[in-house]
Amino acid sequence: MKTQGAAAVVFGGASGLGAATARRLAGEGAQVVIADLNADLASQVADEIGGHAQACDVTNSDSVQAAVDLAAGLSEGGLRISVCCAGIPNPTKLVGREGPTPLDAFAKVITVNLLGTINALRLAAGAMVTNQPNEEGERGVCVNTASIAAYDGQIGQVAYAASKGGIVGLTLPVARELASKGVRVVTVAPGLFETPMMASLPEAAREALGSVTPFPCRLGRPHEYADLVAHIVSNPFLNGEVIRLDGAVRLAPR
């Protein structure tokens, strides 16, 4: 899929991995919609890259559809690239000091991370299947964001690991479903990255987290995630795959 001139939407594109991806795609000539719950921050990133901002809640169908429609109208070729980085951590144990954790705590994380991804995926893919195919027969590409917590989640990551594991699990069946329509689906499972969540920690804590990554012995940088997304977009043979981007780290139980 050629990025130059293509219309793209990045859900959760106002900060962190999403903002880095929006910048990278815009730098390669895409017309980018930054869809984020934080409308002000989305507007700042859009102004910076010459893109478009859309207030968006990935758990709301009308909200996601508005972002998809905006992106699809930016190019005669329609929406070609969708990247979903929206998500929340919200640590949860199964049983806390006061007993079983309320079910709502799990539901919130799973609703945003898993159902939000499915919502963005289904509506973006729904727009892409109506596109004219390119010379490779492609009509679009959807990139989802899981986490290495899907494979080696830590204590206190019950809902988070479950939600990201769901994204890993849906990748192949959705890729198979959309194959006949020329829409590719790939998931990235990042390790420990420099994100707004990490930025809130003391420097010593960030260094300690980075030091557990075998090589390079540091936190991942958002542009490295964006670099991988750009390659996924450009490589038509990448489909139905989950790619760990983690410097070979495997998380300890705690």
Q: What is the pTM of this model?
A: 0.95
Q: CA-to-CA distance for 143 and 25, rounded, in angstroms? A: 13
pLDDT tens-digit profile of 181-218?
999 999 999 999 998 877 766 787 778 788 899 999 99
pLDDT tens-digit profile of 110-134?
999 999 999 999 999 999 999 999 9
Domains and CATH numbers, the chain: 7-193+220-245 (3.40.50.720)
- DSSP letter at 193? B
Which residues does 249 contact at the CB level (< 8 Å), separation at least 6? 148, 191, 192, 212, 213, 214
pLDDT tens-digit profile of 147-189?
999 999 999 999 999 999 999 999 999 999 999 999 999 999 9
pLDDT value at position 196? 81
Which residues does 247 contact at the CB level (< 8 Å), separation at least 6? 191, 213, 214, 215, 216, 217, 218, 220
Give the model's confidence band at 254: pLDDT under 50 very low, under 70 low, under 90 confident, else very high: confident
Active-site pick, 11, 160, 193, 225: 160
Average of per-residue pLDDT across 52-79: 97
What are the structure tokens assigned to 170, written together? 């849906």
Annotated active-site residue 151? The verdict is: no
pLDDT value at position 209? 80
Average of per-residue pLDDT across 43-53: 98
Contacts 24+ apart (CB under 8 A), 96-105: 101/158, 105/159
